[in-house]
Each structure stands twice: as structure tokens, then as C-alpha cells.
Amino acid sequence: MSFLPKNVRTRLTLWYVLALTFILIIYASVSISLVYINLRNNLDDQLQQDYEIVENLMRVMPDGSVKIESEDDPYFHERWFQIWSSDWKMLYESSPFTGKSLPSISREEESTSGFHFQSMQLNNNVRVRILSGKINIEGKWLFIRLVRSEERLWNELSGFIRLMLIALPIAIFIAGFGGYFLTKKFLSPIDEMTAKVRKIGEENLKERLPVINPDDELGNLAHVFNDMLERIQKSFERLKRFTSDAAHELRTPLTAIRSIGEVGLQDYKDAKHYREIIGSMLEENRRLTHLVDNLLFLSRADAKTLDKHLIKLELKSFTQETVEFIQALAEEKNQIIIIRAEKEITVIADRALLKQALLNLLDNAIKYSPENSEIIVSVDTEHNNAAFIEVKDNGPGIPEEHHEKIFERFYRVDKGRSREMGGSGLGLAIARWAVTAQGGKLTMESKTGEGSSFRITLTLT
């Protein structure tokens, strides 16, 4: 509806005024009709009283003519009435009536018994109300007609209509103005909110919208907005932290490569020495590549561009294969990886993602537990509707206060130690993402000094 004003405030007022006008017109019409009916009823009552007076005072003479007693009473000087015989001969006419004629009245209707009221317009445009009635006097039927001017009735009615015509627009005007200011007042929080939102940018994401009345719709809107700002602020901060952490992590191996190179260039060394330097550089390069791979994985995960291929997966053989893949690392530390899997369990999972998660858990277990220790990998079902793979080690364990944090990106309990072992604190974050992306859960139980156990739980098919 393009012809409506764009502004909600004006639009609301317009609708409001329109509805009010409609209601007031109905109200005025009903009132005018009621006033008219009331005035006419009064007139009819007066006519009826006149009728009774005439009826009581009229006398039929032996010659058939009609006389009115106390004819000189001033009352009769103002009354219009006629008395007709049953064969429609005029028997009597009051003095004000003389010289005036009534338009033809349906005699048939008059002949029936009872009172008959009708309204008419005389030749001189005067509107009149006529009462006619039929009476029986000494065996003879006579008709009485009484007339009263409706002038007063119409004067009063038009006075009332005029009043309505003046009062109605005034009422609508006042209500319209009132409505406009009220809507303006009620909608002013929206203006405040708009002004505030317009000012919120990345540098002041901490700002919140004013909540004027928390219980009304606008308060609720402001609340919802504030919640959204909170979420945006958090994810923005997370992103900022992630970028600066990533830059920081990338800087360490790069600095290492540079200083190894600089040391190597300081003075001439033998070939063996250079081989060692190149080896160290390659080692740092390997770390760097690993870190970049992990960062790429996470950024794809965040952007939701990682493809998932859910297939039927036999957990026992899958675990054996994955352990074999990393076996060499454990052997370097003389560790034994024991697989406890009684039966073959089939789940629906993404092979690559699950392998990534399990490898990260095994890598941690190998890295953080001492030489010659045992790592137990169990595959089983729980509560009849879930399957799990659990990696349990005899390492140092994780203190309680770090339990949830170790799943955060770049979080490490002991940063120095983790870096020495080539970690960047992304392993568990990736593992948790990979498991939850396929509808599973990654949980952990650990006590300082008693080792840790990480469990991937997947729902059974």
C-alpha cells in the first residue's frame, strides 16, 4: 500500500482516526435517530391528549351537527382539528384550521378502528403530524382528525444534528492529536534504540541498548538485541584471540628457523654440522606445516566448508588400523598400546574425521605419558545405545582447574613442555570438533598423578 505514509507513527494515527470517525458516525446516527423517535413520541402523546379533550367536549346535536363545549376556551384557539361524518362530510372544523387544506389522507386506513398517526407536508411546506381516530357516538360513527405542527420537532432535531456536526470533527481532531503524541511517546524507545544501534561498531561492541521497561515488547526487543550483541562480541573476541594466538604460534617456529640459520652462518663449520642445522630447520618446518594444517582445518570447520561422508564403520578394525598408524611413535618411547575390543561394533561415522580425533588423543597419550608405560584403548558399547573408544594413559594427569579449558584452541597446561613436544594446543579442539560434527561426544576424566582417559562416544545405528 504505497499511498500510506512510510512513518509508522503517522500510519497508526491515521488508522486510529479512521476507526474513530467510523465509530463516531455510527454513534451520531444512532443518537439522532433516538432523539427523533423520542421527539415524535412526545408529539404523538400530545396529539393523543388533544384527542381525548376533543372527544370529551364534543356534542352531537339532534340535527346531526357537532358542537364543542366551551368553544371559547383559549385552548381551542390553537388546536387544529376536524370532525367528519361516516360518509365523509365535514361536521366541524376548529378556527385555526379554516382556510387550510390537508393533502388527501387514506380514508380506508382511517376507517379502521384505533389511532392512526402520519406525518405530512402542507402546501406551505409546513410539516405536520396528524392523528385520526374513529369514535361511535350514540350509534353514529364519526372521525376526528387532529393536526400539530412538527416545526418544533425539526428545529430541535436540526439543533442536535448541528451540535453533532460541530462536536464530531473537534473530537476527532483532539483524539487524532492525542493519538499522534501517544504513539510518538510509545515509539520513542525505538528511536533511542535506532540511534544507539547506529553507533555500535566493532570498536564499541561492549555497548548495550537501553531497556526502558523490561516487561513490554520493546524491552523484550532490546533484550534480544543485547543478547545478540553479547554473542557477536564474544565471537568477535574469540576471533581476535584466535588470530593473535595463531600469529604468535607461527612466529615461534619462524624465529627458531631464523636463529638456527643465523648461528649456522656465523662461522665456517663442517658438513656434519650443516646437516644438523638443516635437520633442525626441517624439524621446525615440519612443526610449522603441522600448525598451518591444523589452522586450515579449524578455519574450514568454522566456515562449515568441511565435507562429511557418513558411512558404516566397524569400530574394532578402525581402531586397530589407527593405532598401527601411530605405533612407531609409541615404540620410540617404549610404550605399549593395548587394544581391548571384544566384539565388532558398527557405527555411522565419518572415517577421516574420526581418525583425526583418535590420532590426536593417541598422540597426546604417547606425548604426555612416561617411557615404558601402557596405553589402553578400549572399544565397547554403553547403555545399549552408544559405542565408545576410550584412550587411557598412565601419564601425569590433568589438574581439575584445566579440565574444560584444555579443549579450547591453543590452550596448554604447560606451554613450554607442550611446545618442546611439538604441540600447539589445537589437538583437543580439533578432536572435539571432529567428534561433535558427527553427532558424538568427547569427554575426559583425569586426576593429577593418576593418568587421563579420553572417551569418544558415538550413538549406535
Ligand X SMILES: Nc1ncnc2c1ncn2[C@@H]1O[C@H](COP(=O)(O)OP(=O)(O)O)[C@@H](O)[C@H]1O
Q: Which residues contact 414 (CB under 8 A, 6 or more apart)?
A: none
Nearer to Mg ion, 364 or 452 (CB): 364
Shortest CB 244 distance to Mg ion, Å? 21
Q: Residues 246, 298: contact at Cβ < 8 Å?
A: no
Nearer to ligand X, 222 or 359 (CB): 359
Interaction between residue 364 and Mg ion (CB under 5 A):
yes
By a kind-dependent CB cut-off of 5 to 8 A, residue 406 interacts, out of Mg ion, ligand X, none, with ligand X
**187: exposed, middle or buried (Cβ count in 10 Å: 0-12, 13-18, 19+):** middle
Nearer to Mg ion, 39 or 298 (CB): 298
By a kind-dependent CB cut-off of 5 to 8 A, residue 413 interacts, out of ligand X, Mg ion, none, with ligand X
Q: Of 441, 436, 423, nearest to 360 (Cα)?
A: 423
Alpha helices in 209-350 (DSSP H): 217-266, 271-303, 315-332
Nearer to Mg ion, 127 or 417 (CB): 417
Shortest CB 375 distance to ligand X, Å? 9
By a kind-dependent CB cut-off of 5 to 8 A, residue 453 interacts, out of Mg ion, ligand X, none, with none
Whole-number Å distance between alpha carbons of 435 and 389: 11
Residue 193, helix vs strand vs coil: helix
Q: Residues 150, 118: contact at Cβ < 8 Å?
A: no
Shortest CB 426 distance to Mg ion, Å? 7
Whole-number Å distance between alpha carbons of 455 and 461: 19
Count of helices and strands (H, E) across the chain: 10, 14
Burial 216-240, CB ≥16 within 10 A → b, else e: eebbeebeebeeebeeebeeeeeee
Shortest CB 247 distance to ligand X, Å? 17
Q: How many chain residues touch Mg ion (CB under 5 A)?
A: 3
By a kind-dependent CB cut-off of 5 to 8 A, residue 358 interacts, out of ligand X, Mg ion, none, with none
Shortest CB 302 distance to ligand X, Å? 17
Shortest CB 300 distance to ligand X, Å? 18
Shortest CB 427 distance to ligand X, Å? 3
By a kind-dependent CB cut-off of 5 to 8 A, residue 395 interacts, out of Mg ion, ligand X, none, with ligand X
By a kind-dependent CB cut-off of 5 to 8 A, residue 133 interacts, out of ligand X, Mg ion, none, with none
Q: Residues 312, 345: contact at Cβ < 8 Å?
A: no
Nearer to Mg ion, 4 or 421 (CB): 421
Residue ranges in contact with ligand X by CB under 6 A: 360, 364-365, 368, 393, 395-396, 398, 406, 411-414, 418, 423-429, 452
The neighbouring-strand residues paired with 146 are 81, 131
By a kind-dependent CB cut-off of 5 to 8 A, residue 47 interacts, out of Mg ion, ligand X, none, with none
Nearer to ligand X, 368 or 433 (CB): 368
For the four alpha carbons of 148, 73, 113 and 93, in that order, the dihedral sign comes to: negative
Give me the residue whose beta carbon is nearest to Mg ion. Answer: 427
Q: Of 161, 168, 165, nearest to 34 (Cα)?
A: 161
Residues in contact with Mg ion, shown as a per-residue x/- string from 418 to 447 under the rule CB under 5 A = -----x---x--------------------
Whole-number Å distance between alpha carbons of 392 and 398: 13
Q: How many residues does the chain have?
A: 461
Whole-number Å distance between alpha carbons of 323 and 365: 12
Q: Of 384, 330, 405, 315, nearest to 362 (Cα)?
A: 330
Residues in contact with Mg ion, shown as a per-residue x/- string from 385 to 424 under the rule CB under 5 A = --------------------------------------x-
The residue range among 1-9, 194-202, 299-307, 361-369 that interacts with Mg ion, by the rule CB under 5 A, is: 361-369
Shortest CB 345 distance to ligand X, Å? 24
Locus of grid cell 572399544:
379
By a kind-dependent CB cut-off of 5 to 8 A, residue 128 interacts, out of ligand X, Mg ion, none, with none
Nearer to ligand X, 345 or 365 (CB): 365
Binding positions for Mg ion, rule: CB under 5 A: 364, 423, 427
